[in-house]
């Protein structure tokens, strides 16, 4: 039996997702996560609520994330860029992420740098109404240098450039799925917003806004 997660509307907040839980792949069994209110969407760029961010984090993932001690960990990338390893420019005006080889979306297609570029364009479109826009502040451009390399250029020197594509507030959306959902159309794309294709340990198999979400293990 494939593992499922049910998120139910409840009078008690029973379980909070942690980076440890998120790191594990799905297996047999069932886990119920109870919240005061159930999530209204699985698109974290259209909601700033903790329940939406936590729920979506088991499906769509960032390039890097923090562990329970606040350490920044490479997630979909080979390493955390620094000045020492050449990933951050000496003048602090750019950061380059190198994506791990072989990462797949839950539909079997390849995860590429183009997905990160698209995510930036999606959120930075003023008509999208992106709730996480502050994570993309001071960005001049986001470019795919090749299929596995993303370069972010800033308008100013950034002593701490780890905001865009870092943490559950700024994960990567699949370009193929969300293309056509930018700007004013963002809120209308219910299938994409409720059933996002991801790289995480689970995928959504049933979503009822403000009621219940059922996840299935992403093999």
For residue 192, give the CATH number of its domain. Answer: 3.90.76.10
The rounded distance, in Å, linking the Cα atoms of 135 and 182 is 18
pLDDT at 65 over 90: yes
Q: How far apart are CA 58 and CA 73, in angstroms?
A: 16
Q: Which residue matches tokens 């293309």?
A: 179
Closest CA to 201 of 179, 187, 218, 215: 218
Single out the residue of 101, 74, 82 nearest to residue 165, CA to CA: 74
Q: Is 30 or 39 the better-scoring residue by pLDDT?
A: 39
Cα angle: 24, vertex 26, 29; to 5 degrees: 125
Question: pLDDT value at position 219?
Answer: 83
What's the pLDDT at 20? 36
If DSSP codes are grouped into helix, strand and coil, which group holds residue 35? strand
User: Residue 192 is part of which domain span?
Assistant: 4-217
User: Domain count of the chain?
Assistant: 1
Task: Please name which of 46, 55, 49, 51 lies closest in space to residue 119, comparing C-alpha atoms.
Answer: 46
pLDDT of 176 over the 90 cut: yes
Give phi and psi for 93, each to the nearest 5.
-105, 5
- Its pTM stands at 0.87
| Residues 108 and 115: beta-carbon distance below 8 Å | no
């Amino acid at each position: 039996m494939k593992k499922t997660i049910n998120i139910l509307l409840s009078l008690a907040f029973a379980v909070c997702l942690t980076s440890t839980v998120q790191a594990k792949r799905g297996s047999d069994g069932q886990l119920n996560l109870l919240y005061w209110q159930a999530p209204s969407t699985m698109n974290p760029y259209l909601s700033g609520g903790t329940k939406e961010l936590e729920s979506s984090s088991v499906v769509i993932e960032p390039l890097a994330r923090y562990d329970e001690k606040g350490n920044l960990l490479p997630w979909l990338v080979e390493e955390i860029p620094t000045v020492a390893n050449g990933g951050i420019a000496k003048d602090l005006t750019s950061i380059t992420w190198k994506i791990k080889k072989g990462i797949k979306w839950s539909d079997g297609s390849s995860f590429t740098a183009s997905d990160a570029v698209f995510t930036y364009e999606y959120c930075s479109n003023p008509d999208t109404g992106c709730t996480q826009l502050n994570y993309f502040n001071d960005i001049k451009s986001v470019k795919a240098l090749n299929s596995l390399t993303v370069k972010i250029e800033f308008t100013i020197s950034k002593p701490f450039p780890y905001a865009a594509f870092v943490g559950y507030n700024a994960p990567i959306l699949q370009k193929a799925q969300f293309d056509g959902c930018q700007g004013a159309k963002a809120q209308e794309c219910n299938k994409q917003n409720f059933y996002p294709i991801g790289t995480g340990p689970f995928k959504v198999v049933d979503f009822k806004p403000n009621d219940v979400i059922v996840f299935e293990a992403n093999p």
